[in-house]
Amino acid sequence: MVVVQRYLELLSRCRGGADARPIARIQAALVTSGLLRRSAELHDALIRALASSGTPHAALPLYAHLIRAGLLPTPHTLPSLFKSLALSPAVPGARRLALAVHAQAVRLGLTGFLLVNNALIRVHAGLLGRLSDAHLLLRAAAAVDASTFNTLITAHARAGRVADARSLFDEMPERNAVSWSAMVNGYVQAGDGREALGVFSQMQAQGVRPDDTVLVGVLAACAQLGALEQGKWVHGYLRANNIRMTVFLGTALVDMYAKCGEMQLGMEVFEGMKDKNVLAWTTMIKGLAMHGRGSDSLMLFSQMESSGVKPDDIAFIGALCACTHTGLVDKGRQLFNSMVNKHASAREIRHLMREKGVEKTPGCSNLEINGVIHQFIVGDLSHPRIKDILTKWYEIDSRIRLEEGYVPDKKEVLLDIEEEEMEGALSRHSEKLAIAFALISTNDNIPIRIVKNLRVCQDCHHVTKLISKVYGREIVVRDRTRFHLFKDGTCSCKDYW
DNA sequence: CCAGCTGATC
């Protein structure tokens, strides 16, 4: 019996998940021999093994069997069972079962165990989505371990309550590597890359060694902000410390390079990746599309298919983006027809909802100078050098009017702004402030790189073309969907974006 | 003999 238990434990610790078939065979043998009915420990080991084998729902009837056989669950059974429940939320009644198990644990007096108590907090925060109940349990608990705090941090961040996640993070007595990456990734998910990098530097100041997961978050933050220098630092760190290039890390690096305008470097990382899953391919496909390299992007799409990786909905969207940016109408239609379903997936709907929710998000442009991110928000005059920036803007404005005959285009300014304020509002669009600042604070011969959260407006696009000509500077702008390379008065998007 | 759970990229 002990041998069987140990074998099951071994299986449950397999990298990348155990094979479900031998576990099912062992379970059948234990049932027929009558051994299972007598041992809570064997139930334990089976539940644990199943949870890690990709068939967590098979663990649920085992728990019912345990109770029916009149055996008592051990304190180790419940955390595994809750994990199984969390992994199979689609199983009908999963939430009801979790509540029933909670009641049972109270009845059996198991809540006195630290393991069980913490598992209950996690199940309320995670599977049940009852953050307030989780808080009540947290306040009543004698001791709360780091893992439980970590789950709470993640649950709050996922619910869009990153400030609450931060209070929990600040409150917890001891933080481990998971805590730091949960917080960094929480800020990334909230779209606050700057705060994510702030938490990361705090982590380093405290002498905590960054692991691969937190670095994935840091790279995502760099990608959001267009922070190329800091992203490159992470790449160097990975190499210097011989950190294994996982698919996660590789993909995050490719995405960072693509979004920071260094497609070539992204390509090199991508080509060096041993395992490429659908996400890795899609990141590269979208990256090329973003840079207006439609045919390269489509070529990669076919390469992915012939390498045996099946495209998912997002991969299709990436390829379609490539078509729209390159005017490949026929190819786009062909792709569209090859899709069996697009019905919007839950993911897309969530994405759409998020977009709707942020409809009124103010325009914001980021600019990295010597590793420091400068942020400009439309109409915001809080930058320490705002006087110099506005002075520079007036100079730019008069030069492009005089030398290029520029007349402001008021079409895309909100209608409720008074007529005489319109030109002022236009001149304060965030990328104009960013460009003016870049012109006064950087060297003449390096390109200006700006990352914007929204689409570039018609007027700003026009103005940027004129600035690139009058000032003889290359300006690279990443907007919501793609890159624009402004040079000698023209843009790489050929006014199609 | 030992045992549980927590973080990630398009």
- For residue range A98-110, what is the model confidence (pLDDT) as tens digits? 899 999 899 988 8
Smallest CA–C1' separation from A318, nucleotide? B10
| Listed range (A169-173, A226-230, A382-386, A474-478) with the worst mean pLDDT | A382-386
Question: Can you tell me the mean pLDDT for A438-448?
Answer: 89
CB proximity list for A229: less than 8 A, separation 6 or greater = A368, A370, A371
Separation between Cα atoms, residue A214 and residue A199, nearest integer Å? 10
Within this chain, do residues A456 and A374 fall inside the same structural domain, yes or no? yes
Residue A420 lies in a domain: yes
Within this chain, do residues A391 and A451 fall inside the same structural domain, yes or no? yes
In angstroms, the CA of A82 and the C1' of B5 are apart by 9
pLDDT above 90 (res A468): yes
Angstrom CA distances, A452 to A74, A105, A255, A261, A318, stand at 54, 52, 16, 13, 20
Task: State how beta strands A483-487 and A490-491 pair.
Answer: antiparallel
Selected residue with higher pLDDT from A85 and A273: A273
pLDDT, position A318? 84
Separation between Cα atoms, residue A79 and residue A150, nearest integer Å? 15
Q: In chain A, count of helices (H) and strands (E)?
A: 25, 6
Within this chain, do residues A420 and A483 fall inside the same structural domain, yes or no? yes
Does residue A88 approach strand B to less than 7 Å at its CB? no
Within this chain, do residues A330 and A376 fall inside the same structural domain, yes or no? no
- Contact A403/A395 with Cβ under 8 angstroms? no
Domain end (from A269, A302, A333) = A269
pLDDT, position A19? 78
Question: Can you tell me the mean pLDDT for A185-207?
Answer: 95
* Residues of chain A (135-174) having a beta carbon less than 7 angstroms from strand B: 145-148, 150-151, 154
Strand, helix or coil for residue A386: helix
Within this chain, do residues A369 and A355 fall inside the same structural domain, yes or no? no
Question: Can you tell me the mean pLDDT for A45-49?
Answer: 88
Residue A197 lies in a domain: yes
Total structural domains within chain A: 3
pLDDT digits (tens, 9 = 90+) for A160-177: 999 999 999 999 999 999
Question: Can you tell me the mean pLDDT for A25-53?
Answer: 88
* Cα radius of gyration (chain A): 27
Residue A496 lies in a domain: no
pLDDT class of A411 with cuts at 50, 70, 90: low
Q: Looking at mean pLDDT, say which of A90-94, A96-100, A357-361 comes out highest.
A: A96-100
| Listed range (A268-272, A322-326, A452-456) with the worst mean pLDDT | A322-326
Backbone φ and ψ of A322, nearest 5°: -60, -40
Smallest CA–C1' separation from A313, nucleotide? B10
Within this chain, do residues A243 and A280 fall inside the same structural domain, yes or no? no
Question: Can you tell me the mean pLDDT for A401-405?
Answer: 93
> Would you state the structure tokens that stand for residue A461, as one six-digit string?
């696009």
Residue A405 lies in a domain: yes
Does residue A3 approach strand B to less than 7 Å at its CB? no
Does residue A208 approach strand B to less than 7 Å at its CB? no
CB proximity list for A372: less than 8 A, separation 6 or greater = none
Residue A256 lies in a domain: yes
pLDDT class of A179 with cuts at 50, 70, 90: very high
Which positions on chain B have an atom < 7 Å from some protein CB?
1-10
Residue reference for tokens 């922070």: A227
Residue A337 lies in a domain: yes
In angstroms, the CA of A35 and the C1' of B8 are apart by 41
Within this chain, do residues A309 and A414 fall inside the same structural domain, yes or no? no
Domain end (from A236, A269, A302) = A269
Within this chain, do residues A250 and A193 fall inside the same structural domain, yes or no? yes
pLDDT digits (tens, 9 = 90+) for A77-86: 888 888 888 8
pLDDT above 90 (res A1): no
pTM (predicted TM-score): 0.84
Within this chain, do residues A251 and A292 fall inside the same structural domain, yes or no? no
Smallest CA–C1' separation from A248, nucleotide? B9
Domain end (from A269, A304, A337) = A269
Smallest CA–C1' separation from A177, nucleotide? B7
CB proximity list for A231: less than 8 A, separation 6 or greater = A219, A222, A223, A253, A256, A257, A260
Within this chain, do residues A321 and A263 fall inside the same structural domain, yes or no? no
Residue A159 lies in a domain: no
pLDDT, position A379? 75
pLDDT, position A405? 92
Does residue A177 approach strand B to less than 7 Å at its CB? yes
Residue A93 lies in a domain: no
Separation between Cα atoms, residue A218 and residue A197, nearest integer Å? 6
Within this chain, do residues A401 and A435 fall inside the same structural domain, yes or no? yes
| Domain ranges, residue A254 | 187-269
Within this chain, do residues A335 and A400 fall inside the same structural domain, yes or no? no
pLDDT, position A341? 47
Does residue A317 approach strand B to less than 7 Å at its CB? no
In angstroms, the CA of A179 and the C1' of B5 are apart by 13
